[in-house]
Amino acid sequence: MTSTFQSSSFINYINCDILNGVCNVHLKNGACYRYTNVSRRALLNLTLNRRMSLGSWYNFNCLGGNAMREVADERKLWQAFA
């Protein structure tokens, strides 16, 4: 699992599990969401391209794509990937 920490006014960071097509999105307002069925190519692109806008990536790949969202408790997210 890799984490991205690019600057964003909306997102704190995104944890990516490229092999399973899963990402955990941690928003600045404290909300955490887990997305499954995320494009592995998009996840790889996010981890390799440090200049990419997190907000644009999130809107296109998580909200606009085929990803499935689950509202998550941050403690459970860390336990799932530990």
Per-residue pLDDT of the chain (82 residues; tens, 9 = 90+): 677 777 788 999 899 999 999 999 989 988 889 999 999 999 999 999 988 889 999 999 998 877 788 766 655 555 555 4
pTM for this entry:
0.78
Instruction: Measure the CA–CA gap between 5 and 80, rounded to whole angstroms.
Output: 20
Give the domain extent around 65.
2-80
Q: What is the pLDDT of residue 18?
A: 94
Residue 45 CB partners (closer than 8 Å, separation 6+): 52
Q: What is the pLDDT of residue 3?
A: 74
Q: What is the pLDDT of residue 38?
A: 93
* Domains in the chain, number: 1
Q: What is the pLDDT of residue 22?
A: 93
